[in-house]
Structure 1
Amino acid sequence: MERIFTITVFVITYYLIIRGKLKRSIVAFSAGMLIVTAKIIEDFKTSNVGTYIDFNTIGLLIGMMIVVAILRGTGFFEYVAIGVVKISRGNLKLLFGSFIVVTALFSAFLDNVTTILLFSPILLLISDSLDLNPAPLIFSLVLAANFGGTATMIGDPPNILIGSASGEGFLSFIYQLFPIVAIVLLLYGLFFTKKYIARMEVQQSKLRHLMNLDMSKIITSKRELIKSISVFLAIIIAFILHERLDYEAATVALAGAAVAMLLSGKDFSDLARDIEWDTIFFFIGLFMLSYGLKAVGITDMVSNVIARAYTNEVLLYTLVLWLTAVVGGFIGAVPVVTVMIPIIKTLITVHGVPSDIWWVLSIGACFGGSATMTGAAANMVGTALLEKNMNKAMGFREYLRFALFPTFMSLIMGNIYIIVRYGGR
């Protein structure tokens, strides 16, 4: 009975998430609370909340959101964006190529949604000033953020989940994933330049107007900027050393947030609007739902089925990569990873699969999540900003038409990378 009930809640929840008529955070959180209040699983009690909600992930998210919000208030990100425009000196290929690189770099150390919110306004300004179609520019920003965020433990929500579940450190993510991210970004930049930028024609007078923007008025306070950047850099250094220091990632992020608030004079009420509460409660709901599936034995059943492909590592890794990518592309990378984590743990502990499979899961989820509008939160946020700017609805097919080939290309390269790097172990 408990298994049927949990599966029913799971199916209905994911159906509602895919439809997108209701807020994903509300759907996921309500589903989790339904399982808790139904009392069909003994461990689902408030006193045991730490067993089914990963507060290392939640703390990491909240801490980084606070730090980024304080840094954003200084005008730093706008300053970087305008600097990119000036450095390009009217060369469109250099301009948009630089934006892809800068977006990917920032996305590796910020969450993807924040990166989109920070850099979308300047790209929309550029498209309006140059009379360009903004859709390819915003969609390119989304894909660059998703690809770049794959490189680090904190860059993409699936990686935050994987880092907490696997125990892998900050440097391990960079060491394992940066090479494939660099390759994919290079290929994606060449593809975007040839297919879109090479066909653009603009008047040089309009480009000169953008390059004459006054950068001195963008930074609100140099003193606050220095404080915020110092704290941010200290957090990154602490992430690199957190395994040696024996601190969890959440402890580092929350400690950094505390220092940033003390130095800036801002309190929680000042920053409440900058914390993405929908994301936080979406994660909490998914944790509860995932634990319910584990408690009634569903994840063990799935892991046993997948384990049958473990005749060799290449076959198993390829199966996990494409299964995660295809399913995650439609229902979302975060929900899929949340469900896959206990399956991967069972494959490692029970069936003896090498721990390299964590990196396969990361590549499949982060790259595959770029495929559709519903695959990642950054995709939906970027599309929503575009709709607001263009004052018209952007269909599921329009995003898919832009993102499908780059996503497929990234997964092919990811599959080759996995075979070469991990297949022979």
Structure 2
Amino acid sequence: FQWIAIQSVRLGKGNPYRIMVILVLVTAVTSALLDNVTIVILMAPVTLFITASLGISPVPFLIALILASNIGGTATLVGDPPNILIGSAAGIDFVTFAANLAPISLLILIAFIGLSWFLFKKDLQVAKIDPLSIEALDTSELITNEPLLRKSLVVMAGVILGFLFHGALHLQPATIALAGATVLILWARIDPDHVLREIEWTSLFFFIGLFIVVEALVEVGIIEVVAQAALRLTDGNLQMTSMLLIWLSAVASGVVDNIPYTATMIPVVENLGQAMPVGPLWWSLALGACLGGNATLVGAAANVVVANLAEKSGQPMSFGLFLRYGVITTFLSLVLASLYVWVRYL
């Protein structure tokens, strides 16, 4: 990823905005193919390294990185944690997810690239970067283990193919991802103890506890009460329910993080699906939760990860600063998403 990022900077030819656009495109595309949390963990340190090497502020680039990762992650089943939860609960496969959400994600990404010029115009008004400082970015020593790189690329290609055909294979995406990890560990002879130490056990146990709480809410009837209240509010109208779901999901995700919100809303949507077609509701929930995560610094896991990395590097990113850019981007994204859902499904 360092190699890709430095090549991207060279393509930018010293223009800060062009460099930002290239990094945004790389982040968005890779976030759709893998998952956005993993991508920002890889791309944020690279962005910090590049901006430090070129003598420019990393903050606007890191904010753009976060926004692009959430937009790109919206496109596929594996791109953003809320989509993984929805796909698993609703039995939606990778291809169906991409066919329904990739078009609007691409449209929003294009709109964001245009918007970013106005959002970050003042931040990017620096002297043109010296071409010599770009050439000084050495890529020769970035790839330290070529055999492992080749094996990783082969396994990654296999995993992506598995995601595309997991419906025909009758396998869950999680099974395919875990199988890919196992193959790479065995093939590359990676120490399993090292792998197990790197697993985010805290996050796993958090989700275990979260799903237990959500199921308890279902069992005691609270979820059904919420669903019935939504039906009364919209009078059982599919169009109004879908729009409510998009905007409510976005607002809630900006406040409480989109992962626990989505886990809580899945049974609500399942309940609503008994009274109306459920397809548009799933897409509305996915779009609202994923895009709403861009509104605040705590709206999505990727946001928090980048903020922590920035603070550790001595480049803190304040809640208010991110809010200034995030709310505008989220509002534009939701307007486009609402129009898309209305025209395509309602």
TM bracket, shorter-chain basis: over 0.9
Distance 1:231 1:253 in 2: 10
Distance 2:228 2:129 in 1: 62
Distance 2:117 2:197 in 1: 37
Q: Is the 8 A contact 1:85 1:211 kept in 2?
A: no
The structural deviation recorded for 1:94 is: 2.3
1:297-324: CA deviation from partner (whole Å, max 9, x where unpaired): 1001111111221543211100111111
The structural deviation recorded for 1:184 is: 0.7
Distance 1:397 1:139, change over 3 A: same
Matched, 1:395 2:322: no
1:390-420: CA deviation from partner (whole Å, max 9, x where unpaired): 355x432222112110011111111111111
1:172: which partner in 2? 96
2:284: which partner in 1? 360
Moved more, 102-111 or 304-313: 304-313
Q: Is the 8 A contact 1:82 1:213 kept in 2?
A: yes
1:409: which partner in 2? 332
1:252-308: CA deviation from partner (whole Å, max 9, x where unpaired): 111111111111111321113432223222211211110110011100111111122
2:105: which partner in 1? 181
Distance 2:38 2:73 in 1: 11
1:14-413 equivalences under 5 Å are 77-197=1-121, 199-205=124-130, 207-308=131-232, 309-348=234-273, 350-390=274-314, 392=316, 394-413=317-336
RMSD: 1.6
Distance 1:381 1:365, change over 3 A: same
Q: Is the 8 A contact 2:15 2:128 kept in 1?
A: no
Amino acid at match of 1:411: L
Distance 1:391 1:324 in 2: 31
Distance 1:243 1:270 in 2: 32
Amino acid at match of 2:118: K
TM-score of the aligned structures, taking structure 2 as reference length = 0.95
Report % sequence identity: 39
Q: Is the 8 A contact 1:126 1:210 kept in 2?
A: no
Amino acid at match of 1:191: L
Amino acid at match of 1:138: L
Rg larger for? 1
